[in-house]
Amino acid sequence: MGKTIAQKIIAAHLLSGEMVPGSEIGLRIDQTLTQDATGTMAYLEFEAMGVPRVRTELSVAYIDHNTLQSGFENADDHRYIQTVAKKHGLFYSRPGNGICHQVHLERFGIPGKTLIGSDSHTPTGGGIGMLAFGAGGLDVAVAMGGGAYYITMPKMVLVKLSGKLSPYVSAKDVILEVLRRMSVKGGVGKIIEYGGEGVKTLSVPERATITNMGAELGATTSVFPADEITREFMAAQGREKDFVPVAPDADAQYDEILEIDLSALEPLVACPHSPDNVKTVRELAGLKVDQVCIGSCTNSSLRDMLRVAAILKGKVAHPQVSLAVAPGSRQVFSMLADSGALTDIILSGARVLECACGPCIGMGQSPNSGAVSLRTFNRNFEGRSGTKDAGVYLVSPETAAASAITGVLTDPRDLGADPAIEMPAVFSVNDNMIVPPATEAEAESLSVVRGPNIKPFPVTEAMEESIKADCVLKVGDNITTDHIMPAGAKILPYRSNIPYLSKFCFAVCDEAFPERAKAAGKGIIVGGSNYGQGSSREHAALVPLYLGIKAVVVKSFARIHCANLINAGIIPLTFKNPEDYDKIAEGDHLRLPDVAGRIARGEPVILRNKTSGAEFELVAEFSERQKDILLAGGLLNYTREGNL
């Protein structure tokens, strides 16, 4: 039987396990990336392992999230990351060089290679034919040290594309259609692979937009073939020597097939507060718009920016609209300037932002209260914009530009003829903002600089034989990592300071939670389905660890967050019978008797509610390695015991 693209790459990198869906496999990782919101903690963890130099083919540290320097904290973290990178063998992408996923696609991505990044949108690399995964910082640290990356072998889904996109319909509309059909949890336990004749009509930047937002499906990753279009993109970047063709076998077998006719699609919009709450733009046309933000790792490529500039050319943003545009990389920014397109954007009244994540992560550009904000980003979770009562709508660059001009949500097809753009045959390459590492000999004399905001990794302890703790919080379905550990300009500077960060844990759901958890000393959190969707930020596990959370009991978990809980030594458990969720109330006194023994033996865990008298089974299905990590009190303890 033939193999899919993902199965081929997995087979070539398999270090342990069997490629049977549902079983644990260990993969050799070729490349890693970090960004500064998660990177500081990842490098603290790497240093704690005692490995002197990274052992991957390539590792890159990017500065793109915490770039608003309103205090010393972010600048200190940047300096720490830069000195760690220099000493331990990583390339360092300086602030202003661009968003990690955009730059990595341009300058480092190689088809057929494996990549993990401490950012959930690392699957962007699938647009160039990589098998790229979002992961927690500890997993990235282990991979940098030469260890395997462990996942559950996914099922394979083929999205078969036919036809060609109509004028003003874009790649963003393709992934919104996939989200509309599959939902934010429809990709859990699956790799989404794109094929069919329609693939040949999509450029690499368009493919990358689609794989980027595959993260919102809950998918393990997404991937496109590496074909002649990929080769042309890499040649334009001066990297044709790195091109390797990647394609599925003709007789590859898929667990599911989803067919999409590109020519039948129309402009779409994801409504608040979920990326799968998708409607056509026509359905909501005329909705008053207060803000338009164009950029993020999803839609900040040169192609996207040239499309926006062509639509804005000779026009001015509506007086009631605040328009912001952020190119994804310095390469994109400079080429916009050289072509004159940047002038068209500036003259439209747009506020041109630096090449960084910016508003997407809540780092500035918060909309006015009660605003309608159109964004070309990947997430529209409640409060993520920095304005709790704002409604964020996810749209394509074309829809965003058209709406910025009219002041209302506008189908771009109403603008008339689609302005043509011409992509350059050769990109402007200048890597002088990427700092190479020191040689091993030079590194011996280098020191790492730490600022006062950088605090140690939370203390972890081996699992207790039995756990007695109260339910300190009960939440519902689709709790995101933004609910657990919010982003934004006020909080992100403290990503390396877990004690301070703990003040904001679950503030979106319950502002009293941090103090209640600290007062309890130890606690258990209860939740619904798809708990922990969204970002890969391990802080959503490390902060609850600091607050004494011993276990999280839910109906189902998002993949990365479940792994992060295990890495932190917090036990992720699921209800055997979902209706048992209703048998626990916040404040109930709970017991997990013989929990360590039951997990070690592979038995169901028993939960006793001493308040109500209820007793029922919880599912505790872990691999032998995961059991050992949990029993040791987390991945860092496990690694220190010599298990790299």
CATH number at 559 reads 3.20.19.10
**Cα distance between the two ends of the chain:** 34
pLDDT the model gives residue 393: 98
Backbone φ, ψ for residue 252 (5° rounding): -60, 140
Q: Which two tokens stand for residue 500?
A: 């301070």
Which candidate, 104, 149, 160, 161, places its Cα nearest to that of 127?
Answer: 104
**Lowest model confidence (mean pLDDT) among 11-25, 444-458, 514-528:** 444-458
Q: What is the 3-state secondary structure (H, E, C) of 435-471?
A: ECCCCHHHHCCCCCCCCCCCCCCCCCCCCCCCEEEEE
Asked, for residue 345, whether it belongs to a domain, the answer is yes
CA of residue 162 relative to chain centroid, distance: 28
Q: Which residue has the tokens 């902060």?
A: 543
Kindly state the average pLDDT of the residues 324-337.
98
What integer is the mean pLDDT of 46-74?
Answer: 93
Domain limits for position 105: 5-264
**Is the residue at 623 inside a domain?**
yes
Same domain, 305 and 353: yes
CB atoms within 10 A of CB 247: 15
- Residue 206, domain member (yes or no): yes
On whether residue 431 sits in a domain, the answer given is: no
Percent of the chain with pLDDT over 90: 90
Active site residues: 64-65, 119, 379, 535, 537
Same domain for 251 and 371? no
Domain count, the chain: 3
Q: What is the pLDDT of residues 111-166, one digit of tens each?
A: 999 999 999 999 999 999 999 999 999 999 999 999 999 999 999 999 999 999 99
Question: Could you give the CA distance from residue 144 to residue 156 in angstroms, rounded to a whole number?
Answer: 27
Q: What token pair was written down for 156?
A: 């394979």
Q: 452-486 burial, b for 16+ CB within 10 Å, e for fewer?
A: ebbbebbebeebeeebebbbbbbbeebbbbbbbbb
pLDDT at position 51: 92
Q: Report d(CA 84, CA 76) in Å as an integer.
A: 12
Q: Are residues 594 and 498 in the same domain?
A: yes
- Edge-to-edge strands of the sheet including 149-152? 14-16, 24-27, 149-152
Token pair 């009293």 is found at 512
- Domain end, chosen from 242, 264, 286, is at 264
Residue 446 has a pLDDT of 95
Both 42 and 155 in one domain: the answer is yes
Residues 249 and 280 in one domain: no
Domain presence at residue 317: yes
> Which residue has tokens 């409060």?
383
Q: Looking at the domain assignment, is residue 422 inside a domain? A: no
Question: How far is the C-alpha of 16 from the C-alpha of 618, rounded, in Å?
Answer: 28
Q: Which of 415, 434, 455 is the last residue of a domain?
A: 415
Q: Is the pLDDT of residue 459 over 80?
A: no
Residue 3 Cα to chain centre, angstroms:
27
Structural domain contains residue 454: no
293/306 Cα distance (integer angstroms): 15
CB of 549 closer than 8 Å to CB of 634:
no
DSSP for residue 258 = E
Is 38 in the same domain as 172?
yes
Identify whether residues 311 and 203 lie together within a single domain. no
Q: How far is CA 574 from CA 525, 555, 577, 578, 606, in A?
A: 12, 5, 9, 8, 11
Max CA separation in the chain (angstroms): 71
Last residue of a domain, one of 415, 435, 458: 415
Nearest CA-CA partner of 473 in 483, 487, 463: 483
Check residue 495 and give its pLDDT.
86
Q: Are 213 and 275 in contact (CB under 8 A)?
A: yes
DSSP string, 460-526: --PPPSSEEEEEEEE--SS-BHHHHS--STTTGGGTT-HHHHGGGTTTTT-TTHHHHHHHHSSEEEE
Task: Check residue 644 and give its pLDDT.
Answer: 66
Read off the pLDDT of each residue in 377-398 and give the average, rounded to a whole number. 93
User: Do 282 and 232 have their domain in common?
Assistant: no
Based on the domain organization, do 253 and 303 belong to the same domain? no
Please say whether the beta carbons of 37 and 74 come within 8 A: no
Q: Cα separation of 378 and 215, whole Å? A: 9
Query: Domain for residue 428, yes or no?
Result: no
Mean pLDDT for 224-238 is 98
- Residue 293 pairs in a beta bridge with 324, 375
In this model, does residue 173 exceed pLDDT 80? yes
Which of 25-29, 381-385, 504-508 comes out lowest in average pLDDT? 381-385
CA 68, 74, 75, 77 dihedral sign is: negative
Share above pLDDT 70 across residues of the chain, in percent, rounded to a whole number: 100
Q: Is 70 exceeded by the pLDDT of residue 529?
A: yes
How do residues 407-422 score in pLDDT, each as one tens digit? 999 999 999 999 989 9
What's the CA angle centered on 202, arms 196 and 206, to 5 degrees? Answer: 125
Question: Same domain, yes or no, for 260 and 290?
Answer: no
Tell me, what's the pLDDT at 123? 98
Q: What is the mean pLDDT of the chain?
A: 95
Half-sphere exposure of 201 (CA within 13 A, CB side): 18
> Are residue 143 and residue 258 in the same domain, yes or no?
yes
Q: What is the CATH number of the domain that holds 395?
A: 3.30.499.10
Radius of gyration of the CA atoms of the chain, in A: 24
Q: What is the three-state SS of 550-610?
A: EEEEECCECHHHHHHHHHHCCEEEEECCHHHHHHCCCCCEEEECCHHHHHHHCCCEEEEEC
Beta strands 114-117 and 131-134 are: parallel
pLDDT for 540: 94
Same domain, 370 and 238: no
The average pLDDT across 235-248 equals 98
122, 115 Cβ separation under 8 angstroms: yes
Buried b (16+ CB within 10 A) or exposed e, 114-129: bbbbbbbbbbbbbbbb
Give CA separation, 405 vs 269, 306, 318, 401, 553, in Å: 17, 16, 5, 7, 48
Q: Tokens standing for 349?
A: 């009244």
Q: For residue range 178-196, what is the model confidence (pLDDT) as tens digits?
A: 999 999 999 999 999 999 9
pLDDT at site 1: 83
Tens digits of per-residue pLDDT, 552-600?
999 999 999 999 999 999 999 999 999 999 999 999 999 999 999 999 9
pLDDT tens-digit readout, 594-617:
999 999 999 999 999 999 999 999
Confidence of residue 363 (pLDDT cuts 50, 70, 90): confident
pLDDT, position 641 = 75
Do the beta carbons of residue 296 and residue 329 sit within 8 Å?
Answer: no
